[in-house]
């Protein structure tokens, strides 16, 4: 049986389909983030977030870099945000405003400062 080229589309859509992964992509798309930022902002346990980050990295959607004991994630394929935005528009859903870190919810990583850089998804 030949490999159906449409299977690649199915695989990508399946890989981003859990709600937590959409949230992670939107949040990371608002700016590079470490696991502690994601944990603080989304309220999920670190292990749960790490599982989803690993799956997104395996699909090639995320890149990472290490700074000391912290790992920072960024989108490897920012086009995935356009896909999510187009789907939201198609079904008439407003995407939530996502911020990498809010001043009242900072974590202990080296990038947290009182003047956190807030980026709206509308600026992407």
pLDDT tens digits, 51-93: 999 999 999 999 999 988 889 999 999 999 999 999 999 999 9
Total domain count for the chain?
A: 1
Other CB atoms closer than 10 Å to residue 113's CB: what's the count?
Answer: 10
pLDDT at res. 119: 41
pLDDT at res. 93: 92
pTM of the model: 0.80
Question: pLDDT digit string (tens) for 97-112?
Answer: 776 655 555 666 666 6
For position 50, which CATH number holds?
1.10.10.10
Other CB atoms closer than 10 Å to residue 116's CB: what's the count?
Answer: 18
Question: pLDDT digit string (tens) for 42-51?
Answer: 999 999 999 9
In a domain, 66, yes or no: yes
In a domain, 62, yes or no: yes
Query: Which structural domain, as residue segments, surrounds residue 108?
Result: 6-123
The pLDDT confidence band at residue 124, using thresholds 50, 70 and 90, is very low
| Whole-angstrom distance, CA of residue 29 vs CA of residue 81 | 7
Share of the chain above pLDDT 90, in %: 58
pLDDT at res. 102: 55
Closest alpha carbon to 15 in 83, 99, 98, 92: 83
| Whole-angstrom distance, CA of residue 11 vs CA of residue 3 | 12
In a domain, 1, yes or no: no
């Amino acid at each position: 049986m030949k490999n159906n080229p449409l299977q690649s589309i199915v695989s990508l859509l399946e890989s981003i389909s859990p709600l937590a992964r959409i949230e992670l992509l939107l949040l990371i798309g608002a700016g590079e983030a470490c696991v502690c930022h994601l944990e603080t902002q989304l309220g999920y346990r670190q292990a749960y977030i790490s599982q989803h980050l690993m799956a997104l990295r395996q699909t090639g959607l995320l890149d990472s870099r290490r700074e000391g004991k912290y790992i920072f994630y960024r989108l490897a394929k920012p086009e995935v945000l356009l896909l999510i935005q187009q789907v939201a528009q198609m079904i008439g859903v407003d995407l939530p405003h996502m911020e990498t870190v809010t001043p009242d919810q900072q974590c202990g990583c080296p990038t947290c400062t009182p003047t956190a850089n807030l980026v709206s998804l509308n600026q992407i």
